[in-house]
Each structure stands twice: as structure tokens, then as C-alpha cells.
Amino acid sequence: MITALEQYDPQIYELIRQEAARQSGSIRLIPSENYVSRAVMLASGSCLTNKYAEGYPGRRYYEGQQVTDLIERMAQQRATKLFKADHANVQPYSGSVANLAAYLALAKPGDTIMGLALPHGGHLTHGWCVSITGKMFNSVQYTVNPDTGRFDFDQIEKLAKKHKPKIIISGATAYPREIDFEVFGQIAKSVGAYHVSDIAHIAGLVVAGIHKSPVAYSDIVSTTTHKTLRGPRGGMLLCKNEHSQNVDKAVFPGLQGGPHLHTITAVAVAMAEADTPEFIAYAKQIVKNAKALAEKLLEYGFNLISGGTDNHLILIDLRNKNVPGKKLAKALDRARIVTNYNTIPNDPAPPFNPSGLRIGTPAITTRGMKEEQAEQIADFINEVVENIDNESAIEQVGKEVLLLCSQFPVPDHFIIPNKNNGI
Ligand code: DSN
């Protein structure tokens, strides 16, 4: 397919080639990113992109669904088996739409929802003020305990009792510890609220049984499909049977038109991949790598929010290193280490130039890196921090990163040789 592209559109081919080279020639530490398998890539780039299928299997508004119904049903069945859920909707285009659909399935505009504040690790769509979820609903935001960096369930319970939300949202986008979904479920129940859990980041850890599943304690579980779960970019909702009709209506026709069947096909492939012993080993290694990386960073005197990690990500408070998050993220990028700058809880700095750096281990784990390489990556990060204004030292780290990358090629993935960087 990629060769055909070279023939038909050499400009775009060249850009894809450059991006493939960038992905293979850098250490990708953005915790929400990964490398999908060739099978997922092929399904995502297949003829299913040509088909419209508004509606659901057996109830479509377009003809020609002989194959698409089978595919979507297969994706639904694989999702319900993998997550042990009653019902799955595999149509959300992304996690953001999935979250909004979950809220609209359970509440009306103007109702109160309660989620984790963005600067404390929550997602935009957990009711942050600039998101439609913070405008359409009356949003109450809880925070993490500033001393521990962990959820403060007393505060959450107090807020829930005071504001009586229709929905309590659990889940996060920059929270390094295991989330006790059972407690969130209990608090929700005690105030008559629904509980929506967002496991976008940790879905792969949940299906591998490393983190406890929220399915039993949630009315609706929302996830993306492309982070630790290692599928194509997409979203998914899982719920109890009692909510299935409302969930389906909220996704289509509530928020979306035709589902992206090429993505649903690739999601089905990814879920078959996730239902294997190899996937469990990969998910366990993600956490081992994150812990090894965290330990080494602590040895170098980095402050980690909550003091470490239980999952795939680490949030570094850089204030004691006197390097702003953005400056470090950019220097690391020049050293071929790709991260994202991030707010830390109660960040005194503005969000566009915050005090934190967020890193994670899914992508390096897919490449086969283990604890030894995770520690080496901590060495690289420390080296860049210590030489933040020394371009030749940063360039030297980049060379070492390239060498490490060449020892851990991206598996089962198209790698297009890059004449310019030797990969
Ligand atoms: N913004 C994504 C992340 O990087 O965590 C979540 O949607």
C-alpha cells in the first residue's frame, strides 16, 4: 500500500516516510501514544473506509451492510468479552465524543457533573471550563491532595454530598496511581449519582488484569482504543444492559453520523491482539518499565507527583530542577526523546508553560525495551536537564538515543529507511 502511495502521491509519501523515520528514530514517551501492529494498520487502511453505515448492525439507514454488520458485531463481541461488559458501543470517533455521549446518556444539559480538574490530571472532557462538557453541564471539579498527589476521597465525598451531581466521573489523563473505581462507585451510589469511569489511559492494564476493572462499579465505562490498548485512534463505551439503549442513542444519532468502519475494523483486530498472553506480558512490562524509570529519576533527585507510579505514566514536578516543562520538552525533543509538558497539581506557572513533564512507557515497551533501557532513558533525561543550555551535549544524547532505537526496532510495523538519519 505504501509503495502505491509513493507512485501516486510522492509528496505525501515522503512526509509519511519522514514520520515513520521519526517514530522509529526517537524514544516516544508520550503516555497516550504507542505503535500499532501491521495488522491494525492494514485494517485501518482498508476498503472499510469506503462505506457509510449510519445506524447499528441490523438497523442501518444505508444498504450494502452484508459485511459491515458482521464486522461491527464482531468488534462489539470482542469488546464485551475482553472487558467483561454487558454492552459495547464501538462507534465513538474518539474519547472526547465517547465521554460526551456517556454524559448525555445519563443526564441532561444543565445537570451537575463532577470530575477531576484538568490541572490536577483530569481530561478536558471531565467538565473543564473551556470544554463543551464544562459549558453544557453545571461542572463541579475535584482535585488531588496537594501533599500526596492522590485522590482525596473525603474531599470528593464532601463535594458529592454538597452538590448532589447527576454523574461522578472517575479516571484521569495524568494520574500516576491506580484508581480505586470501587470507592468512586460507592460515593456515587451514596448520593444517587451515576458513575462514569474513563479508562482511556489504562485500558490495556485493565484488560490484562493489572489494574482492577471499573466495569462492575460503573454505569458506563468510556475509553479510547489507541493508548495502552494499542489499537487505532478511536473511542468506545461499555455499559450495563439497562443503559445500552441510551448509550447507543447518545452516540448515534445524538452526536455522530456514520461510524468510521475502517477504525471499527482495526479496533476489532486490536482487541483480538489484546486477548492474548503476549498482550498480558506487554502490559505487565509497561508497569515494570515505568517503575524502573521512576526509581532512577528519584535517584537523580527528580520530584515525582505522588512519589512514583503504579501505571504507565510519570508526572515530574521540575521546580527543584529550575527548568520549565516546555523548555525541557523541547530540549528532549532535540535529543530524540519525545514527551509532553504538563501542569502539575496547583501549578504556579501558566498551562502553556507549566512546571511539569509527563512521560510514559507504552511505546518503548512495544519496542521490546525493558527495565535496563528504562533506566538508561532516565540517564538521558537527567543528562539533558543538567545540560539544558548546552546544545552539543544535547546532540550527543540524541546520538545515543538513536543507537538505542536501532537496537530495539519497531516490531511488525512498516519502517521506511531514512537516507538522512541512517535508520
Ligand atoms: N490528550 C490525551 C492525552 O495525551 O492524555 C488524552 O485525550
Domains of the chain: 42-274 (3.40.640.10), 287-407 (3.90.1150.10)
Residue 3 has a pLDDT of: 73
28: exposed, middle or buried (Cβ count in 10 Å: 0-12, 13-18, 19+)? buried
Cis peptide before 253 (omega within 30 of 0): yes
CA of 128 to the centre of ligand 1 (A): 14
- Give the sign of the dihedral formed by CA 90, CA 93, CA 98, CA 100: negative
Say if residues 277 and 296 touch (Cβ distance below 8 Å): no
Looking from the CA of residue 201, the nearest atom of ligand 1 is 5
Cα(343)–Cα(317) distance, rounded to whole angstroms? Answer: 9
Of 152, 174, 154, 142, the C-alpha closest to 305 is 174
Residue 415 has pLDDT above 80, yes or no: no
> What DSSP designation does 144 have?
B
The answer to whether the CB of 94 is under 6 A from ligand 1 is no
Residue 18 has pLDDT above 80, yes or no: yes
Task: Retrieve residue 311's grid coordinates.
Answer: 501505571
80: exposed, middle or buried (Cβ count in 10 Å: 0-12, 13-18, 19+)? middle
Looking from the CA of residue 340, the nearest atom of ligand 1 is 4
Is residue 397 classed as helix, strand or coil in its secondary structure?
Answer: helix
| pLDDT single digits (tens) 21-36 | 999 999 999 999 999 9
Query: Is 365 annotated as catalytic?
Result: no
Cα(37)–Cα(30) distance, rounded to whole angstroms? Answer: 18
Other beta carbons less than 10 A from residue 35's beta carbon: 20
Looking from the CA of residue 94, the nearest atom of ligand 1 is 7
Of 351, 294, 361, 360, the C-alpha closest to 117 is 351
Cα(69)–Cα(58) distance, rounded to whole angstroms? Answer: 7
Residue 414 has pLDDT above 80, yes or no: no
Catalytic residue among 6, 33, 54, 400: 54
Catalytic residue among 224, 225, 228, 309: 224
The answer to whether the CB of 44 is under 6 A from ligand 1 is no
* Helix 181-190, helix 153-163: angle, nearest 10: 30
Residue 413 has pLDDT above 80, yes or no: no
Q: What percent of the chain has pLDDT over 90?
A: 95
Q: Is the pTM of this model over 0.85?
A: yes
Cis peptide before 350 (omega within 30 of 0): no
| pLDDT single digits (tens) 191-201 | 999 999 999 99
Residue 421 has pLDDT above 50, yes or no: no
Catalytic residue among 198, 219, 317, 347: 198
Strands, E assignment, 175-245: 194-198, 220-224, 235-239
